[in-house]
Amino acid sequence: MATRLEGPDLEKAYQRLASYTALGNRLRLKAFFLIAKDPELSFSQIQEKMKVEKGHLAYHLAILKAGGLVSFTYERKGRTSSRYSLTARGKEMYEELLKHS
């Protein structure tokens, strides 16, 4: 008999699926690994390392954020910049990906 997911189990499954979906693109996966390896990267640093257009990168980082994998903070050091880091779920996914590599 099949197990029926309800309540917290359903929500947890949905969040996990959203995370996998967000990582289902090479550019997003590359950005995810860059952020994992170098926490607190700024948007411009990620763009420089990945060599992609600003709009294209912003779109993909927004998907990683929507998937609950990364967060960002605005910072003022002379001028406003955004810094990216992995969320708790992002760190879990990173460890899981490393285990299965």
Question: What confidence tens digit (pLDDT) does each residue in 27-62 have?
Answer: 999 999 999 999 888 999 999 999 999 999 999 999
pLDDT above 70 for 5? no
Which range among 9-13, 15-19, 43-47 shows the weakest confidence by mean pLDDT?
9-13
Q: 3-state DSSP call for residue 32?
A: helix
Domains within the chain, CATH numbers bracketed:
11-99 (1.10.10.10)
> How would DSSP label each residue in 74-97?
EEEESEEEEEEEE-HHHHHHHHHH
pLDDT above 60 for 1? no
CA dihedral 80, 31, 18, 82 (to 10 degrees): -10
pTM confidence score: 0.84
